[in-house]
Amino acid sequence: MTELRITSNDAGQTLEKYLQKSMPALPRSLMFKAIRNKKIKVNRRRAQTKQILAPEDTVQIFLPPDVLENEPFVPGSADLQVVWENDDLMVVWKPAGLLSQKDEPGAQDDLNSRIRTLLYRRGIWNPDTDRSFRPSAAHRLDRNTRGLVLTGKTAAGAREAARMICQGQVEKHYHALVQGDISKPMQLRLYLKKEDTKALVRDTPAEGYQNADMDVTPLKREGNNTLVDVHLLTGRFHQIRASMAHIGHPLAGDVKYGGDPGRPYDLEACTLCFDGHCVQAPKDLSETKPVDLSRSPDMN
């Protein structure tokens, strides 16, 4: 018999969901059969698949150990710039060149791995007890895009971040260096579809295309290029890169979307506003050295 204690990060969800997330090797058919036959109990009593788990509940499991295994966690790099945080949320800085999430099996250095390692070393998250919760970025940036990313430190924070993003309550601004002269603000209301590794853009609706909306404001000229502020109103695949190329102003150096070669493209997620907070990218990254792993300060 294996007994698991429900933590605050695992609470608030159904038994079915908890078992699916914390024991990926457990087949659904076996899970349902075990619950019916009292091979899985909650607080030593008959369980229901849809019952909500509470903190300090215990789950008793009378099944072979091999079906109870969770995805192993291997601590890696904790080289992570924390720009803002409270008890449940934090905003971190993703450097250009770092994946937001791993793209192959096994251990890999990516933003999510660094988030988990940092919270593990600070004692905020424990993969052995918080079995169904894995901290991760609430939204993604492309590998070569740098900038601010909202993250849930706790399960409650992750749910709140997801809710705010789903309801359009997270305001995102980017700075992009684009080719050519943009002299006045523009409202782009386009339609985008992902096809393989590129985004296709249209001016009018079509089957398979989603609305891709953003406002573009010129900030300054830099030689033959223009630095613009992009207020992203929807979050589509390669939206800024593909949309700017569609109107004849690809990001400088973005050869994938028609930019001239010779330099890496420059795209930065510079502002995140949510729940009364407005977090700005630091002017000097030395202002956001990795935080003390023993503390969880409120950096409002």
The pLDDT of residue 70: 86
Domain final residue pick, 119, 146, 169: 169
Distance, in Å, from the CA atom of 259 to the CA atom of 183, rounded to the nearest integer, reads 19
On whether both 185 and 258 belong to a single domain, the answer is: yes
Catalytic residue status for 196 = no
pLDDT at 18: 96
Number of domains the chain is built from? 3
Higher pLDDT, 64 or 298: 64
137 and 194 belong to one structural domain: no
| Same domain, yes or no: 110 and 149 | yes
Instruction: Provide the CATH number for the domain around residue 143.
Output: 3.30.2350.10
The answer to whether residue 298 sits within a structural domain is no
Same domain, 185 and 127: no
Name the percent of the chain lying above pLDDT 70: 94
264, 192: one domain = yes
Residue 160 resides in a domain: yes
Quick check: 300 pLDDT over 70? no
11 and 62 share a domain?
yes
- Angle at alpha carbon of residue 98, lines to 96 and 102, rounded to 5°: 150
**Same domain assignment for residues 142 and 224:** no
Instruction: Look at residue 287 and tell me whether its pLDDT is greater than 60.
Output: no
Residue 23 inside a domain? The answer is yes
| Residue 60 forms part of a structural domain | yes
Residue 11 belongs to domain with CATH number: 3.10.290.10
In a domain, 291, yes or no: no
| Domain carrying residue 28 | 2-68
| Nearest Cα residue to 266 out of 281, 287, 247 | 281
Q: Which residues, listed in sequence order, are joined to residue 150 by a DSSP beta bridge?
A: 91
Residue 269 lies in a domain: yes
173 within 8 A of 232, measured Cβ to Cβ = yes
**Residues whose CB is less than 8 angstroms from the CB of residue 203 and which lie 6 or more positions away in sequence, other chains included:** 190, 191
Q: Mean of the per-residue pLDDT values for the chain?
A: 91
**What's residue 289's pLDDT?**
40
Average pLDDT over residues 126-137: 94
| Domain-terminating residue out of 169, 194, 217 | 169
Asked if residue 15 belongs to a domain, the reply is yes
Residues 180 and 259 in one domain: yes
pLDDT at 160 over 90: yes
Q: Is residue 288 part of a domain?
A: no
Task: Scan for tokens 């300060």, then name that residue.
Answer: 297
Per-residue pLDDT reduced to its tens digit, 239-256: 999 999 999 999 999 999
Reported as a pLDDT band with limits 50, 70 and 90, residue 33 is very high
Angle (CA) 290-291-293 rounded to 5° is 110
The active-site residue, picked from 87, 88, 142, 196, is 142
Mean pLDDT, residues 47-64 taken together: 96
176 and 264 co-located in one domain: yes
Q: How many whole angstroms separate alpha carbon 294 and alpha carbon 292?
A: 5
Q: What is the mean pLDDT of residues 87-91?
A: 96
Is the predicted pLDDT of residue 62 greater than 90, yes or no?
yes
The yes-or-no verdict on residue 213 having pLDDT over 50 is: yes
Give the pair of three-digit tokens for residue 57: 């509940």
147 burial via Cβ count (<10 Å: 0-12, 13-18, 19+): buried
Residues 131 and 190 in one domain: no
Q: How far apart are CA 100 and CA 170, in angstroms?
A: 18
> Which tokens belong to 127?
């993969």
Decide if pLDDT at 290 tops 80: no
Secondary structure, 3-state, the chain:
CEEEECCCCCCCCEHHHHHHHHCCCCCHHHHHHHHHCCCEEECCEECCCCCECCCCCEEEECCCHHHHCCCCCCCCCCCCEEEEECCCEEEEEECCCCCCCCCCCCCCCCHHHHHHHHHHHCCCCCCCCCCCCCCCECCCCCCCCEEEEEEECCHHHHHHHHHHHHCCCCEEEEEEEEECCCCCCEEEEEEEEEECCEEEEECCCCCCCEEEEEEEEEEEEECCEEEEEEEECCCCCCHHHHHHHHCCCCECCCHHHCCCCCCCCCEEEEEEEECCEEEECCCCHHHHCCCCCCCCCCCC
Look-up of token digits 């792993």:
293
pTM of the model: 0.86
Give residue 294's pLDDT band: very low, low, confident or very high (50, 70, 90). Answer: very low
Confidence of residue 285 (pLDDT cuts 50, 70, 90): low
Write down the pLDDT at residue 165: 95
What pLDDT, on a 0 to 100 scale, did the predictor assign at position 108?
80
Query: Last residue of some domain: 68, 101, 122?
Result: 68
Same-domain status, 109 and 128: yes
Please compute the mean of the pLDDT values over residues 198-224 and round it to a whole number: 96
